[in-house]
A and B are shown apart, each in its own frame.
Chain A
Amino acid sequence: MVAEDQVWEALEEIPDPEIPVVSLVELGVIRSVDVEDGHVRIEFTPTFLGCPALEFMKRAIEEKVPGAEVQVIQDDSWSTDKITPAGREKLRAAGFAPPAPRLVQLQSQVHKCPYCGSTQTRLENIFGPTPCRSLRYCESCRQPFEQFKTI
């Protein structure tokens, strides 16, 4: 019989379809895993509602954990604060500035370059290649970069 931690381990192997350096678990979109009498129930929270990868993620979970019931929860229980510390570091290493914690972003508008760490960066576009990203430019190392939006 499958155990909860085995389900979590399986889910850790599913990469985000658009930013594959992080897994769905690191992205924080798996809200819960319940196993009862061999029946697996997984609660999944979408990131951005307009994200075209949502259906893909749901299907990837169903394929990885055959027979599992995947329930999509459309409330505001996911925010970018749910991204794990390991996930944030992987984003940064891949050139995506991780989202500032919500509390910090409300108090400051400082955005760090993921390449050189400089805070001398400017907004190029609130919107980017996917709904979850903005485009910024680093004045110090002259590198454009993508900023994960805080929501």
Chain B
Amino acid sequence: MNEQALLGLADDEFVLGWRESEWTGIAPLLEEDVAFSSIAQNEIGHARAVYELLVGPDGDADALAFDRQPEEYRCAPLVELHLLEWAHTIARRWLYEVADEIRITALKDDSDAAVAGLAAKIDREEAYHRLHAEMWHDRLRDEPRFQAAVEELWPYALGVLPSELRGELVTRVGLAEVEAVERGTHTDDLAPLWEEMTVVRRSAPAGAQW
């Protein structure tokens, strides 16, 4: 596994964690308020673990997470989108979890034991995110509004995976392969999110202790 791909995974989980946390306090159901907050916390925990793996025992994972410019992030455009609308939010949750499962399953066989071990640990926790996403997918799959949201986000979902893993996503989602919105490009939604998530760190004096 190359470092750029691992950084892509970490950035996906990090940025999506921020996006999911935007539902804290305003989700349409109290149960979902709890669920989205918990999922966000888990995703950011996964990001931290991968950043720590990338920087090594003496490195600074926070610096990697927060001290880059927006265009340097390797996240897929799917996770950047500002979607405070339930059908789109659930469509992204479901599409992301299906794609992420394909990616994590592949990583569990990585030749680097540290990468494979961490992927296996992440996979155990993601099982609960998938249960949640599948529950909502079962509930909304026949709703035209949800179907339209899935179709709209589909090119973005393809962009989560490298081309060699997209065939499985096509099979599982049941939509035809289209031109993907590729990783490495960014949406206009990233910069305002970056402003928000880095504001405390950017405003703190160098060497501040938390």
- Does A pair with B? yes
Q: Are A49 and B42 in contact (CB under 8 A)?
A: yes
A-contacting residues, B34-65, CB 8 Å: 34-35, 37-39, 41-46, 48-49, 52-53
A-contacting residues, B103-129, CB 8 Å: 113-114, 117-118, 120-125, 127-128
Would you call A66 an interface residue if the criterion is a C-beta within 8 Å of the partner chain's C-beta atoms? no
Would you call B31 an interface residue if the criterion is a C-beta within 8 Å of the partner chain's C-beta atoms? yes
Would you call B197 an interface residue if the criterion is a C-beta within 8 Å of the partner chain's C-beta atoms? no
**Which A residues lie within 8 Å of B5 (CB)?**
none
Alpha-carbon gap, A49 to B118, bound state (A): 10
At the interface, is chain B mostly helix, strand, loop or mixed? helix
Q: Mark A69-103, 1 if CB is under 8 A from B, else 0.
A: 00000111111000000000000000000000000
Alpha-carbon gap, A76 to B43, bound state (A): 17
Alpha-carbon gap, A51 to B44, bound state (A): 10
* Chain A interface residue number, banded: 20 to 34
Would you call A125 an interface residue if the criterion is a C-beta within 8 Å of the partner chain's C-beta atoms? yes
Q: How many residues of B contact A (CB 8 A)?
A: 31
Q: Are B41 and A126 in contact (CB under 8 A)?
A: no
Q: Are B132 and A48 in contact (CB under 8 A)?
A: no
Residue from the list B45, B48, B117 in contact with A76, Cβ < 8 A:
B117
Q: Are B42 and A74 in contact (CB under 8 A)?
A: no
Q: Are B132 and A127 in contact (CB under 8 A)?
A: yes
Q: Are A51 and B132 in contact (CB under 8 A)?
A: no
B189 to chain A, nearest CB (A): 24
Q: Are B124 and A151 in contact (CB under 8 A)?
A: yes
**Which B residues lie within 8 Å of A135 (CB)?**
34
Alpha-carbon gap, A78 to B121, bound state (A): 8
Would you call A124 an interface residue if the criterion is a C-beta within 8 Å of the partner chain's C-beta atoms? yes
Q: Are A127 and B38 in contact (CB under 8 A)?
A: yes
Q: Are B43 and A75 in contact (CB under 8 A)?
A: no
B-contacting residues, A85-137, CB 8 Å: 124-131, 134-135
Q: Are A131 and B38 in contact (CB under 8 A)?
A: yes
Report if A49-B31 is in contact (Cβ < 8 Å); known contacts: A74-B53, A128-B38. Answer: no
Question: Which 3 A-B pairs rank lowest in CB-CB distance, beginning with the nearest?
Answer: A50-B45, A75-B117, A76-B120
Binding site for A on B (CB under 8 A): 31, 34-35, 37-39, 41-46, 48-49, 52-53, 113-114, 117-118, 120-125, 127-128, 131-132, 135
Binding site for B on A (CB under 8 A): 48-52, 74-79, 124-131, 134-135, 149, 151
Q: A50-B125, A75-B120, A77-B117 are in contact. List 15 more A-B contacts (CB 8 A).
A: A48-B45, A48-B125, A49-B45, A50-B44, A52-B41, A75-B113, A76-B124, A126-B128, A127-B34, A127-B35, A131-B42, A134-B128, A151-B124, A151-B127, A151-B128
